[in-house]
Structure 1
Amino acid sequence: MSRLNGARATAERTGARVNVAILGAGRIARHMADTLNLMAADPRYARLVAPYAVAARDKERAAAFAAEYHIPVSYGSYAELLADPDVDLVYIATPHSLHAKQAIACMRAGKNVLVEKSFTANAAQAEPVLAVARETGMLCAEAIWTRYMPSRAIIDELVAGGEIGEVRSISANLCYPVSGKARMTDPALAGGALLDVGVYPLNFIDMVMGGHGETAVSRIVTSMTPYEPTGVDAQNSTTLYYADGTMAVSTSSMMVASDRDGAVWGTDGYLLCRNINNVEGVDVYGADHALRRHVEVPAQLTGYEYEVAAAANAILDGRIECAEMPHADTLRIMRLMDRLRGEWGLRYPFE
């Protein structure tokens, strides 16, 4: 059992910090390592989290990673990481298809987990992961950074404030030319645009809609272009029709670059959000298309710090989920992506 499962007051009194370990040593793991170092040097986070360990399937690779990012401990196997009693939180930075098995192993070993998006490959994998969180009392959170960023609260407040009237339509896209990466095209790794980049516009829409349940979506029209020769989705487009009359369009691709914009259209005006993957600013327009104002997004370390801080605070408070991305929201998005792939006839070999 982690030494930080007690109340926050106890941890703060003893000066304990949440020791974070990184499982995996790829590109996204490097972003997290950089984030943890910046947090450790920042007065806002220095007493909350500490970069502690990294594990990879190769001992030399793990050691080189640890040396580069000044991480105290490195392991050449995931099993060694799970056996370390000083690990409090494991950030899982491996391909989608491995998340479920690894998250369950971590929690059963008494480790809290922050699981990189897409949380799992499908809802059938996500459900037992969340069940183990309830069984063990370990924190289990999805690391989709846009859910934790200050930009989310900014957009929520603008929508709730009524400045653009009643929201009736939403559009969001995210496209990067990343088809050259093996994990993106391999169906055995749950490759394709949807789980890697498409999850962001779907989450953008879901956040604007206030996390309505699946029943709020009355109809879906969706299609994709397969990537040859593996058959995963190279690019896709989905229109969601909500029971209240709102229509939302999500587009993603791993073949091209896009403007990455998110738009929220209302009866009295609209919002333009620059880069839904890391909102840089929000422009508020009136119905006459005149710019009313520009809302800046606060400066950040890397953007990952918000999800790490949320997870650490949840651990100290003895919670098994983060309020910013509760288990119900994770499951809703996983089920939606399952439904889209069902419409496309896209199944992974392990399903």
Structure 2
Amino acid sequence: METKRDGKKKQTTVITYGTFDLMHEGHIRLLERAKQLGDFLIVGVTSDTYDRQRGKLNVRQSLTERIENVRRTGLADLIIVEEYEGQKVEDILRYNVDIFVIGSDWKGKFDYLSNYCQVVYLERTKGISSTQKRGIVRLGIIGPGRVARRFVQESRFVSGVSVEAVFHPVEAKAREFAQELELAWGGSEWQQFVESVDAVYVATPHHLHVEYALRSLEEGKHVLIEKPLALSRSDAERVFALARQHGLVAMEAIKTAFMPAFRKLIGIALSGTIGDIVYVDATFTKLIPEKGREFDPNLMGGAFTELASYVLLPIARLAGKRKWDAELRFLTKRGQSGVDVWTNVEVIVGSLVGFGKVGLRAKGEGHLVIGGTEGYIYVPAPWWKTSYFEIRREKPSDNRVVSDAFEGEGFRYEIAEFISAIQQGRKPVGLADDDSVWMSWIIERFLRGEGVKEVKS
């Protein structure tokens, strides 16, 4: 704990909190504005342990370094360490705080503190330059939809990234999204967009993923592409080839692949813990009205294009290089618009059989089972948000539960891996390029009708 308190009677005490990793102008401006609200400013710096507990990822500096970041600003009268959830109330009471201050991207989250002091949400600093944000990846979004909105909200839990801009061909849509989520720029001018960012998240309808990924790579931008990365093998290969040519990171945004518990699950399954893997059974279904993008054939809607990446993921990870010898069979039912409303896929790779079930108008138990010769792994619904799983054997007394962190919607894990890969100049870990190409190939086979049997209404 560090203090500049001089013993004089305080008037208005202000408190704020943050990680303050890679201190930049945005942090400093927030502290300056917080300081202006009172006479005595207390700054809480989150501990390494608490950051992990609350799901803050990719923090690059130690607690000591981050405290020093705050001290060097000369703005804090008292620096404390935030070590656990619920500490804010205790700190407010302990230090007789009058005003709690936090950035507006947390608006509404801390309203409960108004029972103890005034709560002020300060507008986020927009448009900070790359030189002001050294070590920070400036990320732009293509496609201001539902998924992108959740993505931006979760990005605040990842250190080393700042979502700065959004692009959409319809100017008004981009500007509305930028205003709502307090981004520095929103518009339809492509060149202005790409010049304001270092990396791009492609969250358009499926049929536009490859077009925008290639355009972004040609501009020298790293790309995170929402699943499915592509609707054909050749298109997926083009994306990764161009990324390699320019020395850039290209990654498919399947959040499950990067979640700690799922990565642990794959490692345990491959280690021989349940013997030889015999089958994989994965289901992902949801019930939504038969309208909108998901059911539009012009936007390549349908249950399989929408959800197959998830159920194919564990099969790809466990089959390894053998997956390219797969024999495929599909059973599908189409809805009123002509796209599939549910589809079952059977993937046979040597002695391994994978079963994947997806649906938009049919509901099933959303679990994952990996069967082996000496036991099986069971992941309860919703398995694609894996936080724990069970290793089950013939004798119940030999069963055990394995768990790991899962916070929010899970987007933070894919964001953290993408940003780390950029910063470290390496390939992403958790999902190989070859896996994404293979899944695109299977989607292509389905769309071509190869091995597809339709169930009539």
Mapping for residues 180-329 of structure 1, pairs under 5 Å: 180-210=290-320, 212-215=322-325, 217=326, 219-228=327-336, 230-243=337-350, 245-274=351-380, 275-288=382-395, 292-319=399-426, 321-329=427-435
Alpha-carbon shift at residue 77 of structure 1 (Å): 4.0
Corresponding position of 1:91:
201
Alpha-carbon shift at residue 301 of structure 1 (Å): 4.1
Q: Deviations over 1:139-170 (max 9, x none)?
A: 21111111111122221232134332222121
**Distance (Å, rounded) in 1 between the aligned partners of 2:345 and 2:290:** 24
TM-align CA RMSD: 2.4
SS at match of 1:343: coil
Identity of aligned residues (%): 26
SS at match of 1:134: helix
Alpha-carbon shift at residue 254 of structure 1 (Å): 1.0
**Distance (Å, rounded) in 1 between the aligned partners of 2:315 and 2:172:** 42
Q: Which amino acid aligns with 1:220?
A: L
SS at match of 2:385: coil
Q: 1:277 to 1:80 in 2, by over 3 A?
A: same
Relative contact order, higher structure (CA 8 A, sep 6+): 1
**Distance (Å, rounded) in 2 between the aligned partners of 1:326 and 1:166:** 22
Out of 110, 123, 130, the position equivalent to 2:240 is 130
Q: 1:299 to 1:129 in 2, by over 3 A?
A: closer
Q: Deviations over 1:285-308 (max 9, x none)?
A: 112456712222313243111211
Alpha-carbon shift at residue 325 of structure 1 (Å): 2.1
Instruction: Work out whether residues 58 and 77 of structure 1, in 8 Å CA contact, stay in contact via their aligned partners in 2.
Output: no
SS at match of 2:390: strand
SS at match of 1:110: coil
Instruction: Work out whether residues 385 and 406 of structure 2, in 8 Å CA contact, stay in contact via their aligned partners in 1.
Output: no
State whether structure 2 residue 132 is matched by structure 1 residue 26. no
**Distance (Å, rounded) in 1 between the aligned partners of 2:270 and 2:434:** 22
What is the TM-score with the length of structure 1 in the denominator?
A: 0.84
**Distance (Å, rounded) in 2 between the aligned partners of 1:166 and 1:345:** 29
Instruction: Work out whether residues 387 and 406 of structure 2, in 8 Å CA contact, stay in contact via their aligned partners in 1.
Output: no
Corresponding position of 1:331:
437
SS at match of 1:153: helix
SS at match of 1:329: helix
Corresponding position of 2:274:
164
Out of 157, 161, 186, the position equivalent to 1:49 is 161
What is the TM-score with the length of structure 2 in the denominator?
A: 0.66
Alpha-carbon shift at residue 67 of structure 1 (Å): 2.5
Instruction: Work out whether residues 224 and 344 of structure 1, in 8 Å CA contact, stay in contact via their aligned partners in 2.
Output: no
**Distance (Å, rounded) in 2 between the aligned partners of 1:25 and 1:299:** 25
**Distance (Å, rounded) in 2 between the aligned partners of 1:74 and 1:278:** 31
Which deviates more, 309-318 or 96-105? 309-318
What runs of 5+ residues in structure 2 fail to find an aligned partner?
1-59, 61-129
**Distance (Å, rounded) in 1 between the aligned partners of 2:397 and 2:361:** 34
Alpha-carbon shift at residue 104 of structure 1 (Å): 0.9
**Distance (Å, rounded) in 2 between the aligned partners of 1:290 and 1:263:** 19
Corresponding position of 1:58:
170
Q: Highest CA radius of gyration, 1 or 2?
A: 2
Instruction: Work out whether residues 184 and 192 of structure 1, in 8 Å CA contact, stay in contact via their aligned partners in 2.
Output: yes
State whether structure 2 residue 178 is matched by structure 1 residue 71. no
Q: Deviations over 1:66-105 (max 9, x none)?
A: 23222222223444312x2x30110001011001111111
Which deviates more, 22-31 or 299-308? 299-308
Alpha-carbon shift at residue 335 of structure 1 (Å): 1.0
Instruction: Work out whether residues 171 and 250 of structure 1, in 8 Å CA contact, stay in contact via their aligned partners in 2.
Output: yes
Q: 1:328 to 1:112 in 2, by over 3 A?
A: same
Corresponding position of 1:5:
none
What runs of 5+ residues in structure 1 fail to find an aligned partner?
1-7, 40-44, 347-351
Q: Which amino acid aligns with 2:148?
A: A
Instruction: Work out whether residues 278 and 373 of structure 2, in 8 Å CA contact, stay in contact via their aligned partners in 1.
Output: yes
Q: Which amino acid aligns with 1:68?
A: E
State whether structure 2 residue 262 is matched by structure 1 residue 143. no
Alpha-carbon shift at residue 237 of structure 1 (Å): 1.0
